[in-house]
Amino acid sequence: MAKQLDALRATTPVSKGRGGRPRLTITPRDLHQIEQFAAIGLANAEIACLVGVSERTLYTWLHKPMVIAALKKGRANGLAVAGKKLWDRVNAGDLSAIIWFEKTRGKRSERVQVINEDEAVDITRQLRAMPDDQLRRIADGQSPVDVLGS
């Protein structure tokens, strides 16, 4: 048996090159799927799974301009479709859509950012010490500076 293996090795040409699996090539179908899945907001890991490649392969593909373009185009198309539908609801007078639009797209927010905790504690003490009539005037929209100055 050893002689047969030696004879086989002697007649088998040795390929010079890289071993391993052949590289996956990006097909137009892959690019289309990447674009479509990006449009519906899927993460890269989810896109890789649905396209049928590993995350590592997708990240390798992301070095290619055509894959980056497909991903960006898909995400932009998805945002455009969602934005158009939101805008249509805002124009129709849908109050919840208007509020959501103002908070997200209009960059308005109800969040209060505390810059200095000591100042926040001081302001809280001042508000607790204020008479009810001053608090009502501030709640009605009058400037706190005007209320406290009077």
CA dist 100 to 88, 95, 107, 108, Å? 13, 9, 10, 10
pLDDT at 36: 96
Taking residue 84's Cβ as centre, other Cβ atoms within 10 Å add up to 10
* Mean pLDDT value of segment 12-30: 75
Distance in angstroms (rounded) separating the CA atoms of residues 61 and 69: 11
pTM for the model: 0.56
Kindly report, residue by residue over 74-119, the tens digit of the pLDDT.
999 999 999 899 999 999 998 888 888 888 876 666 666 666 777 7
pLDDT at 117: 73
In contact, 43 and 80? CB cutoff 8 Å: no
Distance in angstroms (rounded) separating the CA atoms of residues 98 and 87: 9
Distance in angstroms (rounded) separating the CA atoms of residues 148 and 143: 9
